[in-house]
Structure 1
Amino acid sequence: MKTNNLPKASYKLAKIAVGGAVLVGLGLATMAYAQKEPLPTVEKVELDRYLGVWYEVARKPMSFQNKCDRDVTATYTLNENGNIKVDNRCITKNGEQTVSIGEAFVQNVPFNTKLKVSFLPEFIRWMPIGRGDYWVLKLDEDYQTVLVGEPHRKYMWVLSRTPQANPEVINEYLEYAKSLGYNLDDIIHTKQTAR
């Protein structure tokens, strides 16, 4: 009785192909697992110290910021209702200033490290829809530099109290973002003209 055996060379190639497929599959599964790892935040944010003006020094691309060319700022103030007013501004390529006013809602009082931000019209902001995550991932003890992100690692910002931040500090924050699983290939370094 004759059996149809694969030639030895074909059998070896088949084993290599299966082994390669298994390794690729394991690599993809490991990457997917790393992306599903919970995104750690800082332990606690003192909101009264966090309020005020922040200058954006780096970010991942985000559609609503496509028009921003330079001088991007975020100003946070406390509302009468206890939420945080968000006043985002930037200068476009045409030299015009754009302003977006929103509201941030703390999700984990008293730690204040996870917020939801809405830029919907004020009369419907109370509805829990159209809100984006704003998580504080790294913050120095003097509240001078902060890394903000969201759990899917798609968006991220590095903000500073000064428009001309120390490049070494910014690199430290970007490296930390990378260690959390952020892809920094498309990072934008924001132009700040104020001194």
Structure 2
Amino acid sequence: MKPRFTALLTLLVVALLGGCASQPPLRQAKDVDLARYMGTWYVIGHVPYFAEKGDVATADEYRLKPDGDIAVTYHYRKGFDAPEKTWAGKAWLPDPADTAHWKVQLVWPLRSDYVIVDLAPDYRSVLIGLPSRKLMWIMARERQLPAAEYQRLLAVAKAEGFPVDQVRKVPQRCEDLGQAGFEQP
């Protein structure tokens, strides 16, 4: 599939799943400092779905633009020996006072919610989810996350109603391939 078509399908599914929320609102991190949040976040674990299937060494990069929007770049590889690929998009705050709830758009006109559910005080790890609770991501500033912090974020995700039994770690290093709990490309 061509990358643009795949991106379009991904956003369509995410938008549809995001619109199915019938549960109480997600817990949200308090007082997210957007300037501090910007930068690279490695995807440590997620609920896999078709658009990210087989991706390794994945990361989201956020850059605050002068107009207040957020430039979003998704970095990934289809194998550790494959070249890096990217998707570029944008995000914005529907309510500028609520810095934990974003709208994300990778392909026009499709949009999805992005909720910062839990953010470590040192901005080293984060749990992101959709209000529908169908998809979630655990991310970190480094390619690895201490086991205790990973388990803490899984416990938060479970308490918020995410399907943690479906969560798989994303291989960030070659040695992660084939290990228990990791998604297999």
Take 2:157 and 2:73, find their aligned partners in 1: how far apart are those partners? 25
Counterpart for residue 87 of structure 1: 73
Structure 1 ranges of 4+ moved more than 6 A: none
Q: Does 2:138 align with 1:158? A: yes
Give the Å deviation of 1:44: 2.0
Which fold has the larger relative contact order, with Cα–Cα distance below 8 Å and residues 6 or more apart in sequence?
A: 2
Counterpart for residue 101 of structure 2: 114
Counterpart for residue 7 of structure 2: none
The 3-state SS of whatever aligns with 2:165 is coil
Give the Å deviation of 1:81: 2.1
- 1:34-45 matches, within 5 Å, as 36-45=23-32
Corresponding letter in the other structure for 2:44: V
1:182 to 152, 159, 162: 162
1:142 to 122, 130, 140: 122
Counterpart for residue 78 of structure 1: 64
Q: Percent identity at matched positions?
A: 27
Structure whose alpha-carbon radius of gyration is higher: 1
Q: TM-score under structure 1 normalisation? A: 0.73
Take 1:150 and 1:48, find their aligned partners in 2: how far apart are those partners? 22
Give the total of aligned pairs: 153
Corresponding letter in the other structure for 2:73: D
How big is each residue's C-alpha offset from its partner over 1:56-102, in whole Å with a ceiling of 9 and x where there is no partner?
1000112221241x111111001232100001111113623221101
The 3-state SS of whatever aligns with 1:65 is coil
Higher helix share: 1
Listed as ranges, the gaps of 5+ residues in structure 2 are 1-21, 175-185
Take 1:111 and 1:130, find their aligned partners in 2: how far apart are those partners? 21
RMSD between aligned alpha carbons?
1.8
